[in-house]
Structure 1
Amino acid sequence: MKSENIEKFNDIVGTVLGHLYARFPVPTIIDAELIGINTACEVVEGPGGVGQIVDRDDEDERFFLHTVSWLVSAGFAQAGHRTSSAFINVVLTSKGLEVLKAYPSSLTAGPSIGDQLLGASKSGATALLRSTVNEALSLGCKYISQSVSF
């Protein structure tokens, strides 16, 4: 049985990579609302009954932001900058695009990894999304190891 964090990570990675693949090469904003997390601030009662706007402390939103940070640091995407709740001007790197244009090892034709991620994230096919993310990350690791020389 996989860790709940790994499954959540795979779900986010699949949705984000599919989103970036569909918009390539146009930079886009990536925020937690992409995966259904409400990022709106809350209005709470402040001193004297006056409304006060505060940021929510949302564990799912933090997990989302850490996952996208990992995609950037692992070289799948690049981002112009990050705000407290979003990444701005995000686009696939050449490595990310190469991985998503590849065909899964079980196929020689048909939908690419990127097309499968996009379709699975739109249709809610969680099992396909997770298995395709595993394929994409494995392929990405192979590309990294081939480009690193000691």
Structure 2
Amino acid sequence: MTASNIKKFDELTGQILGVLYEGFPVPRPLLLGDLMPGGISFDERIGFDVPNKHGEFLFASIEWLAESGYLRYKQKIHATGYTDCVLTAKGLEVLKATPDSLSTESSLGEQLVDASKIGAKSLVGDLAGQVLSIGVKFATNHFGLPG
């Protein structure tokens, strides 16, 4: 994975978690057309739209977040997205955290929502990186691993 993939993953993660945080606890769909409008291409061989490499990257990101315990979903709809997505307890706890290094009282989730609304992709990616780092610390402390 290249540094640009990590940056892209962080930006998508921030966008995904921000959407779910804003609507919590109500499950909502995570749709390719909403999160990455250019993520679908027409496949002439089979005669309909399918996720392209950008769409597949989004889907892989959502799958990773689910497998890592940040969110859950009911089902994947092949070329469309995921149904009934919601933050898990871990995802909510991490997003409610307020980093000590910040002089703000806003949680990471609130900051993600605000940054997403103004389209600050770089900030969304930076915040998502902080969320994932806190999630790792929570996991290692929970399992008694050095962290």
Is contact 1:37-1:60 (8 Å) kept? no
* Residue 119 (structure 1) aligned with residue 94 (structure 2): no
Q: Is the 8 A contact 2:73 2:83 kept in 1?
A: yes
Q: Name the % identity.
A: 32
Measured after TM superposition, the shift of residue 17 of structure 1 is: 0.1
Partner of 2:66: 72
How far, CA to CA, are the matches of 1:43 and 1:60 in structure 2?
15
Whole-Å separation in 1 of the counterparts to 2:115 and 2:82: 23
Matches within 5 A, 1:46-61: 53-61=47-55
State the 1:126 CA deviation: 2.1
RMSD: 2.2
Q: Identify if the C-alpha distance between structure 1 residues 40 and 109 changes in structure 2 by more than 3 Å, giving closer, same or farther.
A: closer
Where structure 1 has 5 or more consecutive residues not aligned to the other structure, the ranges are 47-51
Which 4+ runs in 1 deviate beyond 6 A?
none
Deviations 1:10-39 (A, max 9, x none): 110000000000010001100222323246
1:8 aligns with 2:8: yes
Largest Rg, 1 or 2: 1
Task: Establish whether residue 84 from structure 1 lines up as the match of residue 84 from structure 2.
Answer: no
> Which of the numbers 115, 123, 129 marks the counterpart of 1:128?
123
1:120 offset after TM fit, Å?
Answer: 1.0
- CA distance, structure 1, for counterparts of residue 129 and residue 40 of structure 2: 32
- Normalised by the length of structure 2, the TM-score is 0.86
Partner AA of 2:65 in structure 1 = L
Q: Which amino acid aligns with 1:14?
A: G
CA contact (8 A) 1:24 1:92 kept: yes
The one-letter code matched in structure 1 to 2:13 is V
Normalised by the size of structure 1, how large is the TM-score? 0.84
Unmatched runs of 5 consecutive residues or more in structure 2: none
The count of aligned residue pairs is: 143
The answer on 1:20 being equivalent to 2:20 is yes
